[in-house]
Structure 1
Amino acid sequence: MRIMHSHWLFGLLSTSTGILGTPLVYDTTTGERDTTFIVKHSWSGTPKGWRLHSEPTSDHMLKFHIGLKQGGIDEVIRHLYEVSDPAHIRYGQHLSKEEVDELISPTEETTATVSEWLQSHGIHYSDCYASSAGDWLQLTVPISKAETMFNTQYHIFQHEKTGEYTLRSLNWSLPSYVHSHIDVAAPTTSFTRTRSMKKTSFLDPHVPMIDDLSGGLSTSCSTSVTPSCLRTLYNTANYTPTATNVNQIGIAGYLEEFANFADLKTFMQKFRSDAVNANFTVTLINGGANNQAQPGIEANLDTQYAGAMTFPTPNIYYSTGGSPPFIPDDNTPTNTNEPYLDWLNFISNQTTIPQTFSTSYGDDEQTVPEDFAVRVCNGFAQLGVMGSSVLFSSGDDGVGAGECLANDGSDTIRFQPNFPASCPYVTTVGATVKTNPEQATSFSGGGFSNYFAQPSYQASAVLAFLTELGTTNQGLFNASSRAYPDVAAQGQSFQVVIGGATGSVSGTSASCPTFAGVITLLNDFRLSNNKPSLGFLNPLIYANPSAFNDITKGNNQGCGTNGFSAGIGWDPVTGLGTPDFLKLQTLLG
């Protein structure tokens, strides 16, 4: 048995024989552990967009996530592709949480070695929390101890544009004997800011506001977007969910963004009067809050449109803490700003989770160390193999914002992909605008990862695009890697209620919950017919491009270029296009 449960993980330690009698491996020459430090990750200098601000006090407390090497993540990925492929005999046969835990549980050697390393620093079981699979540990230590454990030095950095602070190191290392047993430790060298993917500000004066409460709303999304026009545009208006006792949609919230109950009621009164009793529940993670006095633009956008698209399906808003700003002169609170890890660890430890997740946050892929990105991406794969569809906004900077200089010290100009949008185990949503026909927005994030290989499910679609592209943008992107977005939805001039007032918000932040709403209805259709939820979507959608409205106009400029252009078939601006619920429903019937 390989599952290591948190309540006994360290209780089975012995001073010389390890766990479950597994002997600890020593250097055969010296008979002692080789404690030479080997670098896990380092930056060549302070990452682009950040500057060194000051030094923290040595007793400042840090909460760490330590990711032990998973025993069978390759098996998880194999299962993921089999149960997500509509042509495979195992399609829809998702794994249980217990089965996933069994696969990813670290080997006994890994657990014993990491435990010995922690003990060498005076850290015992009572100092740690372990995930149900034993592949993640959480512990809180002062900076002085962290610097010793990881052979590094922590600094306070300030973001040059936003002014926010973060506490990070420019490198971290591990002793050679434990080096291969730990994938990641955080916070260390990840400089991601977990940005909200909303392009324009609340109360955009250039977009007409809709204040008519009579219910006579336009079904066209050509000027201002409302639930009425979205439900008409994507053919969901006549579908009524019935599997509401089992089906759920989850909205991931970060950065102290609070969803407001009163604003939701006002929104529904104005834009979907039959759903005036719609509501959502709030789950707090890692010190997340639910401050009803501070309604957030992002949080309200997500909950209002997810709710309007899926009513009366239960909606859960996950308010995850661990966010900036870090206060440089505050010596006592912990600081992590690793919200994806907090959210993933919480969700993966639940026995029941929503069948659909929508997340409208991300950052430049290059700000995230590759090993960290891979581990987080694998976490999303675990949700997919358990039957959940995980959707992310593609980003609001086209092919990249600013000068688009590489963060590896070379200062090479290249397109800047977003993460987690670039993860091959999530479904990434770009943005459209106008109707008859829809076309790509100029800000719709899209491109090619610099970390992740191109998955087989999209190989032929991407090849067709690249063949048509020719030498355009040559050298600015990695044509052999994971390409995104996968799909798209409206993303401009969404009517949102904030603090009782109606304003206009644009961005792939709006596109993601809209598309996720359509998927939630499809899951309802499946579940109400005693079929399993969809789970990981990408193999299904790439095998059925005709179920989407192909977008052939527009481009996603950035990095001083016109970016990529939308065209026939898949493209890195709008993916396969926008959803047609009726076609997808027929496909899944």
Structure 2
Amino acid sequence: MKASLVWSLAIALGSVQLCAASAKLFSRRWEDVAEKHSWVDVPRGWEYVSPAPADYEFDMRVGLKQDKVDDLTATLMETSDPTHAKYGKHLTVVEAEALAAPHPDSVEAVDAWLEDHGVPPANVVRSTGGGGWVVVRVSVAQAERLLGTKYNVYHHTASSERVVRALSYSLPRELHPHVDVVTPTTYFGTPHSMRRTSFLQPDRVLQPTTKDGGARADCASVITPACLRELYNTASYVPRATNVNKLGVAGFLGEWANRNDLQKFFAQFRPDAVNSSFSTVLVNGGLDNQNVPGVEANLDIQYTTAMSFPTPNIYYSTGGSPPFIPDSQTPKNTNEPYLEWLSFVLSRNKSEIPQTITISYGDDEQTVPKEYAVKVCNLFAQLGAVGTTVFVASGDSGVGGGDCLTNDGTKKKLFQPAFPASCPFVTVVGGTHKIPETAVDFSGGGFSRYFGTPAYQNVTVAKYVKGLGTTYAKLYNPAGRAYPDLAAQAYAYQVIVGGALQYVAGTSASSPTVAGVFALLNDFRLASGKPSLGFINPLIYSTASKGFNAVVSGSNPGCGTAGFPAKAGWNPVTGLGTPDFEKLQKLI
């Protein structure tokens, strides 16, 4: 054999061996795995049912790390700071999405990992609007191999909902710097299992009200749009920017706002709004069943429209996949409420995104995996960066509902902050009642264990914490994001549900009310040729802090304690206080 031929064969053989070695090395690249998140026990309220069928299919979302998220939040703070040169210079949707996008290396790493596991490119979709998500159609068996976990069916006793979830999951160590979170895995929240922030008051005897609902004094015993409009000084303002200004209500509880009930509500409490309505946008399989009016949905939309009329209102009906059915092989989503709605809104044109949005639900922060909470909170920052003010109800459990025990295996009694109220990029609304206003005892409030105290709160929160001294020192995190930021009436709201007048209470009444006030402030700015307010927290804690009525009495008991006391200045029951529209007009 000629030497050249021998040499050629040697090269060819070496190349084959090298390729085989490379392939083996490439495969081993993903074998070094580490746990991403796990629960010690099945989350409270859920119970194990059975192993999930191996061939059950669902959409798995891989949340890639956002390469410039620090730049996004820094920009948000600059454009939200009334003393900064960039104040009010909100980003376009495209600009915000660029800052929320993942690094190309992260995209490449996740693609290689999926390819190594035999996931065909046709099963991979890249979502828009929500800061870098890869959506992968997989079976339970495939997901278990990808994530080194075991999926089971779990039952939520309160809502009777069944979901497919895992108690832990892992990723190759190489992917940890590239991936924030994978869902559905260890986050058990669903549109039907989240805690409502409103409740009926069937024991109250309905008080007679005048045709227009009475005046400010009525707020001492019964809440109507007229008393709120007078109490918060919006009654004389006539909106002028209704061609561009919008107010949004995020609905997640399997409820629908009823148009007939709204007309009856207007006829009794806001006659000049009769025949006006709201639009409904369906998100992620959401429905609009006008035969089944929802208390929460009706409360939200009746008071946002009544407070902001004639500003256009949008009700977002966000669905989730139906409860797990053993023989169902075709669910298209994963039951998780935050991600679908935020991704949807952030993928819209800027002209379609409301300048003001209110959200009336939440859950204990400790039930949400931290990585998931951070990812969702960053999406709220992205929404604020494009000029939207997001209000969130603070919750109806004071400093914590139930036994307040931690779910980390230690079962330690601690105050339980709520999420998304604990996110520093939303504006949280607590509750008051009576005249003069005092803190209502169920008003949610406290300090996050996931998020640190944001700069805009440093001075006011430090002052309150110093005043507490050693009180509750071991029950809360004094270095955490503190909430609520503001407050409004939360008791004895008159709402039409199924054609009948009912009393409803909760901070999910307070949040739509404050959202209505700020929707009018946005109208005032837009009509004056100025940009929308956007993320308002840096503003309200500084140059606009005098635009609120301080609430100095009451507390929010819970966890076997009297809770935090309301005091002058900021407090973790009613925040900075309740809004005064006319004062705020002059300050913004």
Q: TM-score, normalised by structure 1?
A: 0.92
What displacement does 1:163 show?
4.2
| Post-superposition offset of 1:330 | 4.7
**1:144 aligned to 2:141?**
yes
Distance 2:310 2:197 in 1: 26
User: Which residue of 2 is the match for residue 381 of structure 1?
Assistant: 381
Q: Residue in 2 aligned with 1:315?
A: 313
d(CA) in 1 for partners of 2:215, 2:202: 20
AA aligned opposite 1:366: Q
Among candidates 248, 256, 263, match of residue 254 of structure 2: 256
Alignment partner, residue 20 of structure 1: none
Q: Confirm or deny: 8 A CA contact 2:240 2:523 kept in the other structure.
A: yes
- Structure 1 residue 248, shift from structure 2 partner: 0.4
Unaligned 5+ residue runs, structure 1? 1-25
The whole-number CA distance in structure 2 between the counterparts of 1:391 and 1:310 is 15
In 2, the alpha carbon distance for the partners of 1:82 and 1:333 equals: 42
| Residue 42 of structure 2 corresponds to residue 46 of structure 1 | yes
User: Which residue pairs with 2:413 in the alignment?
Assistant: 413
Following superposition, the deviation at residue 122 of structure 1 comes to 2.9
Aligned to 1:6: none
State whether residues 398 and 557 of structure 2, in contact with CA within 8 Å, keep that contact through their aligned partners in structure 1. yes
- What whole-Å deviation, never above 9, does each CA across 1:212-237 have from its counterpart, x for those lacking one? 5x336343211110100000000000
How far apart, CA to CA, are the structure 2 residues paired with 1:138 and 1:49? Answer: 28
Does the 8 Å contact 1:254/1:323 carry over to 2? no
Per-residue CA deviation, residues 343-365 of structure 1 (Å, 9 max, x unaligned), is 01101111121101100011000
Report the counterpart of residue 283 of structure 2 in structure 1: 285
- SS of 2:553's equivalent? coil
Matched AA of 1:252: A
Partner of 1:439: 438
| Contact 2:213/2:225 (<8 A) preserved | no
* 1:101 paired residue number: 97
Q: Any idea what the Cα deviations from partners look like across 1:361-414, whole Å, max 9, x if unmatched?
A: 110000000000000000000011110001100010000011101111111110
CA shift, 1:170, in A, is 0.6
Contact 1:61–1:335 (CA under 8 A) maintained in structure 2: no
Structure 1 SS opposite 2:84: coil
The code of the aligned residue for 1:530 comes to G
Alignment of 1:63-142 (within 5 A): 63-132=59-128, 135-142=132-139
Check 1:103–1:455 CA distance in 2 against 1; reply closer, same or farther (3 A cut).
same
Is 1:487 matched with 2:480? no
Rounded to whole Å, the distance in 2 between the matches of 1:283 and 1:398 is: 33
Q: Which amino acid aligns with 1:135?
A: G
Hey, what's the Cα distance between the residues in 1 that align with 2:187 and 2:561?
Answer: 28
Q: Measure the CA separation in 2 of the matches of 1:46 and 1:433.
A: 38
1:159 CA displacement:
3.2
Query: Are 1:211 and 1:270, in contact at CA under 8 Å, matched by a contact in 2?
Result: no
* TM score, norm. by length of structure 2: 0.92
Give yes or no for contact 2:215–2:230 (8 Å, CA) kept in 1: no
Q: CA deviation at 1:457?
A: 0.4
Q: Does 1:500 align with 2:472?
A: no
C-alpha spacing 1:442/1:95, structure 2 compared with 1 (3 Å) = same
Q: Which moved more, 1:47-56 or 1:478-487?
A: 47-56
Amino acid at match of 1:191: F
Secondary structure at 1:375's aligned position in 2? Answer: helix
2:12 is matched with none
- Give the whole-Å Cα distance in 1 for the aligned partners of 2:120 and 2:527: 48
Structure 2: which amino acid aligns with 1:187?
P
Aligned partner (choices 212, 216, 226) of residue 215 of structure 1: 212
In 1, Cα distance between the equivalents of 2:133 and 2:27?
Answer: 29
Corresponding residue number in structure 2 for 1:15 = none
Q: Deviations over 1:503-543 (max 9, x none)?
A: 01100110000000011000000000000100001000011
Instruction: State the alpha-carbon separation in 1 of the partners of residues 333 and 346 from structure 2.
Output: 22
TM-fit CA distance, 1:78: 0.5
Counterpart of 2:240 in structure 1 is: 242
Instruction: Quote how far apart the aligned CAs of 1:128 are.
Output: 2.9
- Larger of the two Rg values belongs to structure: 2
Q: Using the alignment, how far apart are the partners of 2:332 and 2:324 within structure 1? A: 9
1:174-214: CA deviation from partner (whole Å, max 9, x where unpaired) = 1222222111111100123553533422x6231424465x3
Task: Supply the distance in 2 between the matched residues of 1:216 and 1:486 (Cα, whole angstroms).
Answer: 28
Pairing of 1:517-532 with structure 2 (within 5 A): 517-532=516-531
- Going from structure 1 to structure 2, the CA distance change for 1:328 and 1:394 (only over 3 Å counts) comes to farther
The equivalent residue for 1:341 is 339
One-letter amino acid matched to 1:60: Y
Cα distance in 2 for residues equivalent to 1:466 and 1:177: 41
Distance 1:125 1:581 in 2: 54
Deviation per CA, 1:429-448: give whole Å up to 9, x if none.
0000011x100111000000
SS of the residue aligned with 1:565?
A: coil
Using the alignment, how far apart are the partners of 2:298 and 2:118 within structure 1?
Answer: 45
Deviations 1:239-272 (A, max 9, x none): 0111001000110001211111111111101100
Residue of structure 2 aligned with 1:168, choices 165, 168, 174: 165
Change (3 A) 1:401 1:152: same
Please name the residue that 1:390 is paired with. Answer: 390
The match for 1:555 is 555
Q: How many residues align?
A: 560
Higher mean displacement: 123-132 or 410-419: 123-132
How far off its partner does 1:333 sit?
3.2
Counterpart amino acid of residue 466 in structure 2: T
Give the structure 2 partner of residue 510 of structure 1: 509
Secondary structure of the corresponding residue to residue 230 of structure 2: helix
Which whole-Å CA distance do the structure 2 matches of 1:329 and 1:396 have between them? 38
Provide the residue aligned with 1:36 in structure 2: 32
The aligned residue for residue 541 of structure 1 is 540
Give the gaps of 5 or more residues in structure 2.
1-21
Instruction: Give the conservation status (yes or no) of the 8 Å contact 2:62–2:135.
Output: yes
Distance change in 2, residues 1:68/1:360 (3 Å)? same
- Give the CA deviation at 1:65: 2.1
Shift of 1:305: 0.3
Which digits, 9 at most, give the CA deviation of each residue in 1:80-101, with x for residues without a partner?
1000001111110111111112
Indicate the SS of the match to 2:137: strand
Q: How has the CA–CA distance of structure 1 residues 391 and 151 changed in structure 2, closer, same or farther, with 3 Å as cutoff? A: same
1:111-145: per-residue Cα shift (whole Å, max 9, x none)?
Answer: 11111112223334432332336611223322111
SS in 2 for 1:557: coil
**Counterpart residue number, 1:3:** none
Indicate conservation of the 8 Å contact 2:213/2:226, yes or no: no
C-alpha separation in 1, matches of 2:326 and 2:525: 51
Alignment partners' CA distance in 2, 1:479 and 1:499: 45
Distance change >3 Å, CA 334–CA 34, structure 1 → 2: closer
Tell me which residue corresponds to 1:587. 587
Work out the CA distance in 1 between the residues paired with 2:39 and 2:574.
33
Partner of residue 299, structure 2: 301
CA separation of 1:481/1:384 partners in 2, compared to 1, >3 Å: closer, same or farther? same
Secondary structure at 2:564 match in 1? strand
